[in-house]
């Protein structure tokens, strides 16, 4: 598994000189939030501050600094630019002047990366990675492969769990894979707030994993691939044989990705399911944040 933090380390290690381009402040509508950053070397970039002319301007100024061609002070339309040898500030209106119509304003800070800043960036990336929401995909078949690939692009810790070694081949390098004869054990070991997408090659195994997931009242999402008949069959088994409750069953999302789009291609199911999972995770995070604020207010 190759994480974002590892990719960042590799980028920093490969380039002789690197500049950090960071959104320092925003006003109004902007492509990215304060704190968003990218790294720029003479020939490559890592990350994004939102694209468009704003990003092109920032990359150009960063590379001027890297090549030691930066002016001490200059004016570029309505964008004010202040530069010294190691730091530059761009105050950019996102309007017709630069070919963007967001309407807001962005302050971008550009700094040359020294050893201390490099260490700070890596430590921050590792800390953020340690707190990423976990998504467990049970099953590495066609849909499982597509879902893992889609989720790997998102700020998530994705784990694919399988009983078959060959089904784990070809997974994205940022995805963790687990080969186990007892996939349901991964549910028990998952951190609070995890999401579970169940789509194995065996309906009986699906039922066992889903039952485990529904028993966890701290799960952000529990979804199972299948038809209305499969869901009804699971419900009958869950209530009668697995000692589950109606309330627990009602938390199950099945089929994953909903049924509004009548398209069974793996890539389409994966896109719909990924959006569904991300929505559930963001919703839970917002509720938890609101709960923490309420608890603090009571304590105060």
**Whether pTM exceeds 0.85:** no
The dotted CATH code for 132-290 is: 3.40.50.720
Q: How far apart are CA 80 and CA 71, in angstroms?
A: 13
Asked whether the beta carbons of 178 and 162 are under 8 A apart, the reply is yes
Per-residue confidence (pLDDT) for residue 74, from 0 to 100:
45
Q: Which residues pair with 278 in a beta bridge?
A: none
Per-residue confidence (pLDDT) for residue 95, from 0 to 100:
76
- Rounded mean pLDDT, 68-87: 55
Q: How far apart are CA 28 and CA 142, in angstroms?
A: 43
Asked whether the beta carbons of 214 and 188 are under 8 A apart, the reply is no
Q: Helix, strand, coil: what percent of the chain each, to 5?
A: 45, 20, 35
pLDDT band at 76, cuts 50/70/90?
Answer: very low
pLDDT digits (tens, 9 = 90+) for 239-276: 999 999 999 999 999 999 988 888 999 999 999 999 99
Asked whether the beta carbons of 187 and 213 are under 8 A apart, the reply is yes
> Residue 101 above 90 pLDDT?
no
- For residue 35, report the phi and psi dihedrals to the nearest 5 degrees: 100, -20
Per-residue confidence (pLDDT) for residue 71, from 0 to 100:
46
pLDDT band at 298, cuts 50/70/90?
Answer: very low
> Residue 299 above 80 pLDDT?
no
Average predicted confidence (pLDDT) for the chain:
89
Per-residue confidence (pLDDT) for residue 44, from 0 to 100:
95
- For residue 197, report the phi and psi dihedrals to the nearest 5 degrees: -115, 115
Structure tokens at 71: 């002016």
Strand (E) positions, 141-279? 157-162, 176-179, 195-198, 221-224, 252-253
Question: Which residue's entry shows tokens 């690939």?
Answer: 149
- Rounded mean pLDDT, 166-179: 95
- For residue 37, report the phi and psi dihedrals to the nearest 5 degrees: -145, 165
Highest-pLDDT range among 2-16, 138-152, 254-268: 138-152
> Residue 77 above 60 pLDDT?
no
Per-residue confidence (pLDDT) for residue 176, from 0 to 100:
96
Per-residue confidence (pLDDT) for residue 292, from 0 to 100:
63
pLDDT digits (tens, 9 = 90+) for 207-229: 999 999 999 999 999 999 999 99
Per-residue confidence (pLDDT) for residue 270, from 0 to 100:
97
User: Domain residue spans in the chain?
Assistant: 16-127, 132-290
More confident site: 150 or 92: 150
What percentage of residues in the chain have a pLDDT greater than 90?
A: 73
Asked whether the beta carbons of 110 and 88 are under 8 A apart, the reply is yes
How many whole angstroms from its chain centre is CA 288? Answer: 18
pLDDT band at 120, cuts 50/70/90?
Answer: very high
């Amino acid at each position: 598994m190759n994480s974002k933090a590892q990719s960042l380390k590799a980028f920093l290690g490969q380039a002789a000189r690197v500049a950090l381009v960071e959104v320092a402040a925003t006003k109004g509508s902007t492509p990215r939030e304060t704190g968003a950053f990218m790294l720029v070397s003479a020939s490559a970039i890592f990350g994004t501050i939102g694209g468009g002319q704003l990003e092109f301007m920032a990359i150009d100024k960063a590379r001027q600094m890297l090549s030691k061609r930066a002016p001490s002070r200059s004016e570029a339309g309505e964008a004010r630019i202040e530069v010294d040898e190691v730091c530059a500030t761009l105050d950019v209106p996102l309007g017709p002047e630069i070919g963007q119509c967001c309407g807001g304003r962005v302050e971008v800070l550009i700094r040359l990366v020294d050893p201390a800043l490099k260490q700070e960036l890596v430590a921050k990336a590792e800390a953020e990675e340690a707190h990423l929401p976990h998504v467990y995909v049970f099953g590495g078949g066609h849909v499982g492969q597509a879902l893992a690939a889609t989720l790997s692009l998102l700020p998530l810790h994705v784990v694919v769990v399988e009983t078959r070694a060959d089904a784990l081949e070809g997974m994205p390098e940022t995805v963790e894979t687990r080969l186990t004869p007892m996939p349901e054990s991964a549910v028990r070991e998952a951190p609070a707030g995890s999401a579970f997408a169940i789509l194995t090659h065996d309906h009986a195994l699906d039922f066992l994993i889903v039952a485990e997931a529904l028993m966890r009242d701290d799960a952000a999402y529990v979804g199972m691939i299948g038809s209305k008949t499969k869901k009804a069959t699971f419900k009958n088994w869950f209530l009668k044989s697995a000692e589950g409750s109606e309330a627990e069953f009602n938390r199950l999302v099945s089929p994953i990705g909903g049924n509004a789009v009548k398209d069974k291609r793996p890539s389409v199911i994966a896109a719909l399911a990924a959006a569904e999972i991300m929505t559930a995770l963001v919703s839970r995070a917002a509720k938890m944040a609101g709960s923490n604020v309420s608890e603090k207010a009571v304590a105060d």
